[in-house]
Structure formats: structure tokens, C-alpha cells
Chain A
Amino acid sequence: MGAEENKQTVLRFFEAVSNGDMAAVAGLLAPGYLRHDLVSVAPDIEGAEGVASYMASLNAAFPDMRWEIEGLVAEGDRVACSYTLAATHLGEFMGIHATGKRISGHAAAILRLADGKIAENWFVADWAGILRQIGALEAVAPPA
């Protein structure tokens, strides 16, 4: 599979995730799919079932979450993807009850494809910014 085909697969994956179409998600993942979360607060995710249960918990907290792809860079078996997310905090997230606040932030991922399927995903999102927006994290001013 070439880099362009891999980009199309990644675009289909994000579309399926955004639409909550878990059957389509499962069809795009290689056996043993693993998402490494590079920010320690979020869990690693294994397989289509892991994606489904993670998305269910995310959707419970942020039911209107929208992902927008800003750029794709592909080479060999890798596709790098930068995107933004935006949502309203309408359910419990990391111990914080719904605040009704709008949240937004950047995210980026590098995905490894094998035989046209997504096999591995290294993911970073600005969880620090999002946790501050819902009040889970508080800024500490530097000493005067």
C-alpha cells in the first residue's frame, strides 16, 4: 500500500470514529491494534473493542465532540495527522461532573499501517488544556 492509500484509510478511520460507526472502525483496524497515549493521564487502547469502549466514555462526557483534520503527512507505512477537537462538557470526565463548558484543543497522531489497516497509533492531545477548561486542573501563578 502506498502513502496516498494509507492517507485515505486514515481519513476513513477518523470519519468512522467521528460518526460512532464502530463496525467501520473495526474493519479498518489490524488485529492487535494498539493506541499508545503519549500523555500519561489517558489509557492505552487495544483493539476495536478498546476503541469502542473508550469512545463510549468520551461520548458520555462530550456527546457533541467534533474532530477536524488539519494536516496529513505520509511516508512509508506511517501517516502523521494533526487535528483539532471541540465539544461541550455534558457528562462526567476524569471525576469532574458536567460543567456545560465548551472545550477545544489540538491533537496529533502518528499511525502505522500494515496491509491497508491501522496497526498502531501514537497519540497526543492537549489534555492539560482541556482539563483546565473544565476546571480539573488549576493554574498556579509563578512566584512574584
Chain B
Amino acid sequence: MGVEENKQVMRNLVATLNAGDVAKLGQFIAPSFVRHDLANMVPRISGPDEGLDFLTAFLAAFGDHSLEIEDMVAEGDRVVLRVSHTATHKGPFLGYSPTGRALRMAAINVYRIEDGKVAEGWYLQDALAMNRTIGAVRWRGEGD
């Protein structure tokens, strides 16, 4: 697989995610998949089953979610994406009740592609935006 094919895998994955077609997302996830969360927002995810469970829960919590690819850089088996997430917190996520707040979250994620599937991903998102949206953090001295 060349760099252009790997970029196309990521474009197809994002289009499928935006269509909310969770059943079809499995084709993009390698059996050895590992998701590393560099902002420690989500515990490590291993394998397609855990990956799809997470995406299903995420889309249930953020039903109107849309992911936009802002930039893409690829070399060898790596594809780096700068993305923006737009969504509303409409369902429980990581144990936090829906707030109805709007989420706008940027991220730079690194993916390792193997045979046309994502084998490993390192995710660095604006965890401050997510944690503020779902109510997982407050500023020191800020009331409940």
C-alpha cells in the first residue's frame, strides 16, 4: 500500500463515520488495532470489538457528530490528520449525563495503516474542550 492509498483509507473511514454507518466501520480496523489516547481522555482500546463499541457509544452520545479533515500528511505507513469535531452532547458519555452543550474540538491524530486498515492510532485532541463540554472538569474555585 502506498501513501495515496493510505490517505484514501482515512478519507473513506471519515466519510463512513460521518454517515453514522458503524456496521461498515469494521472494515477499516485491523485485528491488532490499538488506540492510544495521548490526552488520557479515553482508556486504551484494543482490537476491533472494543474499537467499534467505543465508536458506537461515541456516536450515541454525540448523535449529530461531524468530523472534518482539515489537513493530512502521509509518509510510509503513517497518516497524520488534523481534524475538527463538531457535535452536541446528547447522550451519556464516559459516565457523564448529556449536557446539551455544543462541542467543537480540534485534534491531530497519527495513524499507522497496515493492509488498508488502521492498525494503531495515537490521538491528541483538545481534551479541555471535551472535558468542559461533558462536565468532567472545572476551573479551581469554580462552583458546581
Contact = CB atoms under 8 A, between A and B. Distances in A.
Interface string A105-137: 111111000000000001010111101100111
A75 B74 contact: yes
Contacts of B78: 71, 73
- For the side of the interface on B, what is the size category? 35 or more
A142 B96 contact: yes
Contacts, number: 114
B25 interface: no
A118 to B, nearest CB: 14
Interface in A17-56: 38-41
Nearest to B141: A138
A109 B97 CA distance: 32
A78 B126 CA distance: 21
B57 interface: no
A110 B82 contact: yes
B128 A80 contact: no
A49 to B, nearest CB: 25
A82 to B, nearest CB: 6
Given A40-B129, A78-B73, A127-B128, A140 B39 contact: no
A137 B97 contact: no
Nearest to B36: A106
Interface of A: 3, 38-41, 71, 73-76, 78-80, 82, 96, 105-110, 122, 124, 126-129, 131-132, 135-140, 142-143
18 contacts: A3-B75, A38-B108, A39-B129, A40-B129, A71-B110, A73-B75, A73-B76, A75-B73, A80-B110, A108-B110, A110-B82, A128-B39, A129-B39, A129-B40, A136-B140, A140-B136, A142-B96, A143-B95
> 3 nearest interchain CB pairs?
A142-B95, A38-B106, A80-B80
Given A108-B38, A142-B95, 4 more contacts: A40-B128, A137-B128, A137-B140, A143-B97
Interface of B: 3, 38-40, 70-71, 73-76, 78-80, 82, 94-97, 106-108, 110, 122, 124-129, 131, 135-140
